[in-house]
Chain A
């Protein structure tokens, strides 16, 4: 369970999130909100990439302020732009990066990398340079690099924004099939319609918190 307790966050004098309190226990949660609403900041608070300037964020009882490393092991994070997330030049090396950082034995790394590449349809690119892949394939590679670490929760920061329709569908199917709990920050309203819960952010506050059938129309109405 991820819990926000009176969370505020500010960059210098500029407050981005104000007094957020909620518990995320559902399998699929979406965060909607316009540009500058604080969505990406909220996403980064979920796995301790940012710590709140006020209040606390806990993941399965671990505080992101004091147990950041342990939290990041539990919560994987997929960035909007896969180019900044892909660290090593070839597909196979990049998927293995996080496993090596955790000092997992070589044989185990090889087994898990092969399984991850097969699962995400990337096996034929195994030895290819990552920079030669298409945007959608890079996003799948970024997702594979996170999921190979077997986190309990995965946070996606606008995972379909840079993709064409075909690749968007592939990424959505991948998210749907995840056994883990997922929190998805997105503008993609179609994607969230079968989610369990939607939080709508506006000016750093939650203005709607409901199932998609209620929250999405409320969000559209607020935009228009």
Chain B
């Protein structure tokens, strides 16, 4: 779902971020209101069509979908076995989510983060009368996306360091150094933002 932009020369890549996000919302509403598996089937077909039109490598898209597929399988099992909704109904619910996850992944893979942030900044701008600073919210979003792989890397590093010292499973041994690293990174990041011309007082007007 958080798959980063993958550049290709395609019409889907050139569509404005607003069109893609608006389309995703409209399709989501459609999938949830159409009866039975129709919504899921139509959204799935649309997703496959867009996948071909966007010229994205199927392997990469499948890799992005790996984690959601695991979650959906668990959801399917839970719905069918524990919630007692029946196999058919659970399958329809999971198919709906799977189709929407595919579409959402395609949106993130074909839209530059900067374009997405511009869009969110415009949308958050509607909340300016309530005292919301849209530029700050948009930057927060951008930093979240940028720092997810970096934090994953830090977790891996700390784990390896602990293993090298013979600690296999210890929450404290993982979280204490990780927190220290995160706070140091946050300090450095704040300085870097300032050094690169970001002004926290700018309200994005």
Contact = CB atoms under 8 A, between A and B. Distances in A.
Interface stretch (B28-36, B81-89, B169-177, B195-203): B195-203
Contact of A73 (B143, B150, B197): B197
B7 interface: yes
B150 A131 contact: yes
Given A79-B188, A81-B188, A93-B112, A88 B195 contact: no
A84 interface: yes
B149 A101 contact: no
Interface residues of B, number: 27
Contacts of A200: none
A127 interface: yes
Contacts of A129: 4-5, 149
Nearest to B118: A100
Contacts of A59: none
Contact of B145 (A89, A102, A126, A127): A89
A8 B6 CA distance: 49
Contacts of A204: none
Contacts of A149: 196-197
Nearest to B153: A131
A69 B114 CA distance: 24
Interface string B185-205: 100110111111111001000
A99 to B, nearest CB: 8
A187 interface: no
Interface residues of A, number: 34
Contacts of B193: 87
A73 B143 CA distance: 22
Interface in A90-119: 90, 92-93, 96-98, 100-102
B192 A85 contact: yes
Given A101-B202, A149-B196, 14 more contacts: A47-B195, A49-B195, A72-B197, A84-B189, A90-B113, A97-B198, A101-B196, A101-B198, A102-B197, A127-B5, A127-B7, A131-B149, A131-B153, A149-B197
8 pairs of A and B residues whose beta carbons are closest in the complex: A127-B7, A84-B188, A77-B195, A101-B197, A131-B149, A93-B114, A98-B196, A85-B192
Interface of B: 4-7, 112-114, 142-143, 145-146, 149-150, 153, 185, 188-189, 191-199, 202
